[in-house]
C-alpha cells in the first residue's frame, strides 16, 4: 500500500499542476493576417503562434470563427476557453498572459486623394468613421466612440458581420463613410485580398492618414474557466521560447 504522505504529495501535484493534454477552444472573428480562416493552411499570425505554443505543451487547438461580440460573450460565459487577438480593454475581466504576442496600431485609412490628416480628436469633426461593433480601439478612443455613435451626423458608423472589408469598401465607394479605423496590417492586407478576388473594376487606392497609440494583442482567457490561469502561464513560457528561437519571426514573415 502506498504510504499516506506519498499519496498526499501525488494528489497535490495532480490537483495543482498545469493542465495536460486538453483541447483548447479559442474563438475570433476574421481579422487576417492575425486571425484568418480555420480551414486555411495559414490561419493567421496569432493563431499560428498559439497553436505552436499549445502543441509544445501537449494541447490541441480548436480554433473557431465567430463574430467578435459573440466571441466575447461566449468566452465570458465559459463556452470557449479564450478569444484570439484581444486588447485588454476588449474584456478587462478576462485572464491575460503577461506579454502581448504582437502590437496592434489602429490607423485612419482614407482614399488616396483625400487630403485629411489625423492629429487628434479635434481633427475628427465632420468625418464619417467606420468602426466594428464590439471592438475596442483602446481606452483613448473607446470613449470617443461611445460619445459620438449615432449622434446626428453619424460621425461614428458601426458595422458587424463576417465580411467586414467588403462592407467597408462598398461604403467608401458610395460615400457612406470617408474614413476606416483599422489595424495597420489588417486593412491593407484585406483590401489587397478583396481586389484580388473581386470582379469589381474599382481601382481606388488607400493611405493611412494617422494612427492611434499601439495596443498589445493577447489571448484573452475566460474568467469562468478553472484552467485559464494555467493556460496563461503556458502562453507566458511558450511565447518566450517562440521569440527566442526565432520561430515567431518566421510565422510573421509568412504574412508579409
**pLDDT score recorded for residue 150:** 65
Residue-range domains of the chain with CATH: 22-103+215-253 (3.40.190.10), 106-211 (3.40.190.10)
Given this model, what pLDDT does residue 173 score? 85
Alpha-carbon span 19 to 27, nearest angstrom: 20
What lies within 8 Å, CB to CB, of 68 at 6+ separation is: 28, 29, 83, 132, 133, 134, 135
Which residues in the chain land under pLDDT 70? 1-20, 150-154, 199-204
For residues 89 and 80, the answer to whether their CB atoms sit within 8 Å is: no
For the stretch 62-95, pLDDT in tens is 999 999 999 999 999 999 999 999 999 999 999 9
- Report d(CA 177, CA 154) in Å as an integer: 9
Amino acid at each position: 500500500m502506498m504510504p499516506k504522505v506519498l499519496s498526499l504529495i501525488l494528489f497535490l501535484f495532480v490537483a495543482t499542476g498545469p493542465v495536460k493534454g486538453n483541447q483548447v477552444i479559442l474563438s475570433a472573428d476574421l481579422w487576417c493576417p492575425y486571425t484568418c480562416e480555420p480551414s486555411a493552411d495559414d490561419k493567421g499570425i496569432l493563431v499560428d503562434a498559439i497553436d505552436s505554443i499549445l502543441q509544445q505543451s501537449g494541447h490541441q487547438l480548436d480554433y473557431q470563427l465567430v463574430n467578435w461580440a459573440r466571441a466575447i460573450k461566449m468566452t465570458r460565459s465559459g463556452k470557449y476557453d479564450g478569444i484570439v487577438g484581444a486588447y485588454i480593454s476588449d474584456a478587462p475581466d478576462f485572464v491575460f498572459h503577461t506579454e502581448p504576442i504582437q502590437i496592434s496600431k489602429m490607423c485612419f485609412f482614407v482614399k488616396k486623394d483625400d487630403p485629411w490628416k489625423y492629429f487628434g480628436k479635434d481633427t475628427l469633426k465632420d468625418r464619417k468613421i467606420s468602426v466594428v461593433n464590439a471592438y475596442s480601439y483602446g481606452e483613448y478612443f473607446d470613449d470617443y466612440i461611445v460619445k459620438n455613435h449615432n449622434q446626428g451626423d453619424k460621425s461614428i458608423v458601426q458595422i458587424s458581420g463576417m465580411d467586414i472589408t467588403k462592407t467597408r469598401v462598398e461604403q467608401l465607394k458610395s460615400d457612406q463613410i470617408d474614413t476606416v479605423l483599422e489595424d495597420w496590417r489588417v486593412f491593407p492586407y484585406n483590401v489587397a485580398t478583396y481586389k484580388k478576388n473581386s470582379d469589381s473594376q474599382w481601382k481606388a487606392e488607400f493611405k493611412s492618414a494617422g494612427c492611434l497609440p499601439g495596443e498589445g494583442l493577447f489571448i484573452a482567457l475566460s474568467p469562468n474557466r478553472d484552467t485559464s490561469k494555467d493556460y496563461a502561464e503556458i502562453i507566458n513560457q511558450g511565447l518566450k521560447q517562440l521569440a527566442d528561437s526565432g520561430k515567431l519571426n518566421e510565422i510573421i514573415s509568412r504574412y508579409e
